[in-house]
Chain A
Amino acid sequence: MDAWRRLKKNRMAIFGMALVIFYSLLSLLAAILPIHSFKHQVLDHQYLPPSLTKTAGELLYERQENTSMDAAKNEGRNELNEKEKEELSVLKQRIENETMVFDGKTVKVHQKRYFLGTDALGRDLLARIIYGGQVSISIGLVGTLTAVLIGLIIGAMAGYLGRSFDYIAMRIVDIMYGLPYMLLVIIFMAIFGRNVINLFLCLALVSWLTLARVVRGQIISLKNSEFVQAARVVGASTGRIVFRHLVPNTLGVVVVFTTLQIPSFILMESFLSYLGLGVQAPLASWGSLVRDGVDGMKSYPWLLFFPGLTMTVFLFSMNFLGDGLRDALDPQSKNRL
């Protein structure tokens, strides 16, 4: 497998692959990881900044202290008065004793630690990013695999069968390229409802085109090579020739397309979230988290920074992995995206 050897030489690609595996594992194992829930709200804890060491209670106390001090300074004092001190001690009592019930379990809610901070409804950002990763990565993966399936079949058949099938298929591709994707998605989501499956289908429907074209190109150039002629001589059926002999030779292109399409899907989903057409609440995807975080970037920068960083790093890794795979598997490719 000299493809593997070539890949290993590419440091960035290996680095990318490691990150992708890390992300995927984290997403898969999310349910058993020792993290908070992604949808439990503790309104008292809204907009808490990230903190590795302090508990929510400590942060709340600090916040109250600072607000009181500011108010005091505004009145010219340097010390907190009785009322403010009273408020602080009441707060302290609550922090030490207050509990909430989540899923039947009673929890001393102010002892929670939020490593990456909380959002507007007091939900843990780290958990939301990890579960959001589940949604985003699966959208990327499943959507891409669907697009690949459709594109592969149509492209291979168009390339091999040629003539009228090819003509019609390519005309369909031309037409679909010209249709406004945005419009289709809105209408599709409006008619068929906004759930994750429709999201996959929708995105896949508009993305198989490029792969179909590329696969068709590959098949056309391989159509008349010797091994195909040999297969024909032996009496292999069309289907067998196409799917057992030709398609495996396009694998390089397909793999590259897959790894480069996944980031594209994740970005498309984030665009849909921007328009309010992405995943339904209370599910989150990286795209919807980033969308929620943009407006508050001045006051609550962690809400934008961490999901944004997570998404960027993942896409980054996928892209480098894809590049590396392309260099390794298909060093003579025409390099169309």
Chain B
Amino acid sequence: MTKYVIQRFLGLIPTLFVIITLSFFIIRIAPGGPFSYERALPKQVLENIEKRYHLDESLLVQYGRYVLDILRGDLGPSFRYKDYDVNHYIKISLPNSLVLGLLSLSLAVILGISTGLISARRQNSTIDYLSMSVAVIGISVPLFVVGPVLMYFFAMKLNLLPTSGWIMSGDRWTTVLMPMATLTLPYFAYIARLSRASTLEVLQSDYVRTARAKGLSEPVIMFKHVLKGALLPVVSFLGPAFANIVTGSIVVETIFRIPGLGRYFVQSALNRDYTLIMGTVIVYSAILLIMNFIVDIIYGFMDPRISYR
């Protein structure tokens, strides 16, 4: 078992490597470059810049240089933001995205699983239809609508919350509420539906019927037997969900002025800031691969039907 775990973990490295390589070459295909400005630079000056950033060398040489740098932990200077390097930007923005992501996802999990369980127990009742409807609305409205609508009602009309800002930047703690609510909604929706479906399946399974026949009380059945089975699909959903929430929160971070990693994602692509793009790609992929890995391991522990070769 441990051997499998280690094997799998080591297998992540070549995958990450391939992702980095592909991204490196793909981003350089797009037209325009980091130094194409509206006021074009004179030829000699442009040559100078390109030399300084090694953009005049062949792609393979640049690639080799980049890989060596990464291995040393140096993600390079940003091509657009000239005062700090990529390591710095990732260091200051990743915690913000992580906190936002963790808070939102945790809330989504807690609310989602409870809603799913309750809906499954009372299948086809009004509560079931109601909560599933709310859940479906959660995945039917785009984030860039939910955010401004919340801002309009709670900040502008009712004056209860600040429009934007972020607690970790020193603003009031209430700045957390609207971004969290916006981001939680779609994940709550998925998790509620998932756990409802899997709970339904588990409730009809043999071992639950056995537990009931044995005369165990409802709460015991729900928590000791049903919960584990119901959680399985949710657990496997969490892996990609977590990585997505970190970068997919682009919209929320932009609207609510949260200095997170998501914003760099899109901005740096549009700015052709190659190093910053690569930095965000590496972080994103690493988180995704690790989360998927952890989720697979946990899944293996939780599902007695799976054994490892």
Contacts and interface: CB of A to CB of B under 8 A. Distances in A.
**Chains A and B touch (C-beta atoms under 8 A apart):** yes
Contact of B145 (A187, A263, A294): A294
B140 A316 contact: yes
B139 A263 contact: yes
A337 B142 contact: no
B180 interface: no
23 contacts: A12-B132, A177-B240, A178-B284, A178-B285, A178-B288, A179-B281, A180-B285, A183-B26, A186-B30, A186-B269, A187-B27, A267-B139, A271-B143, A271-B251, A274-B144, A290-B144, A294-B145, A298-B152, A304-B145, A316-B137, A316-B140, A319-B139, A335-B201
A259 B90 CA distance: 38
Contacts of A5: none
A251 interface: no
Contacts of B145: 290, 294, 304, 308
A335 B194 contact: yes
Contact of B142 (A190, A287, A336): A287
B139 A180 contact: no
B283 to A, nearest CB: 10
Interface of A is mostly: helix
A319 B140 contact: yes
B271 to A, nearest CB: 11
A180 B267 CA distance: 13
B237 A184 contact: no
B300 interface: no
A175 B198 CA distance: 28
Interface string B254-294: 00000000000110011000000100110011001100100
Interface in B220-273: 233, 236-237, 240, 247, 250-251, 265-266, 269-270
Contacts of B251: 271, 274
Contacts of B190: 337
Interface in A162-194: 171, 174-175, 177-180, 182-184, 186-187, 190-191
Given A180-B265, A336-B236, A271 B142 contact: yes
Contacts of B197: 323, 326, 335
B22 interface: yes
B81 interface: no
B137 to A, nearest CB: 6
A312 B26 contact: no
Interface stretch (B12-20, B93-101, B158-166, B168-176): B12-20
Contact of A190 (B30, B141, B149, B193): B30
A187 B139 CA distance: 27
A242 B118 CA distance: 41
Contacts of A335: 194, 197-198, 201, 233
B203 to A, nearest CB: 13
Given A182-B250, A308-B145, A337-B233, 10 more contacts: A179-B285, A180-B247, A187-B27, A271-B144, A274-B251, A294-B144, A298-B156, A315-B140, A334-B233, A337-B193
B114 interface: no
Contacts of A274: 142, 144, 251
A320 interface: yes
A175 B19 contact: yes
A198 to B, nearest CB: 14
A274 B251 CA distance: 9
A-B complex: 3 closest residue pairs judged by Cβ atoms: A315-B140, A178-B285, A335-B197
Interface in B16-56: 16, 18-19, 22-23, 26-27, 29-31
Contact of B144 (A175, A291, A337): A291
B22 A175 contact: yes
Nearest to B284: A180
A127 interface: no
B152 A297 contact: yes
Nearest to A171: B15
Given A184-B26, A297-B148, A336 B285 contact: no
Contacts of A186: 30, 266, 269-270
B102 interface: no
A270 B142 contact: yes
Given A175-B19, A187-B27, A335-B233, A180 B281 contact: yes
Contacts of B103: none
B139 A179 contact: no
B84 interface: no
Contact of B137 (A182, A187, A271, A312): A312
B20 to A, nearest CB: 9
